């Protein structure tokens, strides 16, 4: 374990993505580094633009000090992982920050990472003993799905096996259910097969190696 704690800033696409900060902190801890990621409440500031550079700048203002690492969550979407990575790296440079950078770039969306745990989907849907086939993709397929968000929504509805108002109510709770699934993400499960996850681990390893050499 490192002899000191490290500070960080976590910039997410939305509030339902905030559990990713805990996941990243846990991965750092696996490597022997205690990192606390601040998760700024942008509502405390005047309207903040949604581009990554503006959010990093606003987050840094709220934290009020230079942090050791900036962690930026940005879905690849149709732009692709490489383009998103370039975007995030440019945003950090534009703010003249000397912090290390860890991009979190799910392909194509964060929901793809959540489609790999059938038991978690059934529990969150409120029907853990259900047997209906959910039509979940294999790990090697999930990063090629055009709209994993829509598929996850459908899988939750199928898993719940409800109709009428209960089905409508479940669909309205999708953001909360998605967040629950993210909180339950198995870091040692099928997600370890995904290229986007492997890249996240590699980026964290690079940062911790740099910190080790500087000690």
Predicted local distance difference test score (pLDDT) of residue 158 = 98
Complete DSSP assignment for 119-162: HHHHHHTT-TT--S---PPPHHHHTT-S-HHHHHHHHHHHHHT-
Predicted local distance difference test score (pLDDT) of residue 51 = 93
Asked if 73 contacts 107 with a C-beta cutoff of 8 angstroms, the reply is no
Number of H helices and number of E strands within the chain? 10, 4
Residue 41 backbone class (left: φ over 0; alpha: ψ -120 to 50; beta: rest): beta
The 10 Å Cβ neighbour count of residue 47 is: 9
- Report d(CA 110, CA 40) in Å as an integer: 20
Predicted local distance difference test score (pLDDT) of residue 40 = 87
HEC per residue, 91-115: HHHHCCCCCEEEEECCCCCHHHHHC
Instruction: List the pLDDT tens digit at each of the 215 positions of the chain.
Output: 767 899 999 999 988 899 999 999 999 999 999 999 999 887 777 788 889 999 999 999 889 899 999 999 999 999 999 999 999 999 999 999 999 999 999 999 999 999 999 999 999 999 999 999 999 999 999 999 999 999 999 999 999 999 999 999 999 999 999 999 999 999 999 999 999 999 999 999 999 999 999 87
The 10 Å Cβ neighbour count of residue 140 is: 10
* Structural domain spans, the chain: 5-107+194-214, 110-183
State both tokens at 41. 């409440």
Nearest Cα to Cα of residue 106 among 81, 140, 141: 81
**CATH architecture for the domain at 5-107+194-214:** 3-Layer(aba) Sandwich (3.40)
């Amino acid at each position: 374990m490192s002899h000191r704690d490290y500070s960080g800033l976590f910039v997410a696409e939305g509030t339902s993505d905030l559990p990713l900060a805990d996941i990243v902190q846990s991965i750092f801890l696996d490597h022997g580094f205690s990192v606390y990621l601040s998760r700024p409440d942008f509502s405390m500031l005047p309207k903040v633009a949604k581009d990554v550079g503006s959010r990093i700048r606003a987050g840094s203002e709220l934290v009020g000090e230079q942090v050791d690492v900036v962690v930026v969550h940005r879905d690849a979407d149709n732009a692709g992982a490489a383009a998103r990575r370039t975007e995030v790296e440019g945003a950090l440079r534009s703010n003249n920050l000397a912090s290390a950078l860890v991009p979190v770039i799910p392909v194509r969306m964060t929901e793809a990472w959540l489609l790999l745990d059938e038991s978690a989907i059934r529990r969150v849907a409120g029907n853990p003993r259900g047997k209906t086939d959910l039509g979940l993709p294999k790990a090697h397929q999930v990063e090629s799905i055009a709209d994993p968000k829509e598929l996850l929504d459908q899988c939750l509805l199928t898993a719940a096996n409800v109709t009428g108002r209960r089905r409508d109510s479940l669909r309205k709770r999708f953001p909360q259910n998605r967040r629950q699934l993210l909180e339950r993400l198995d870091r040692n499960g099928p997600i370890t097969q995904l290229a986007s996850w492997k890249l996240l681990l590699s980026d964290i390893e690079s940062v911790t190696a740099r910190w080790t050499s500087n000690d």
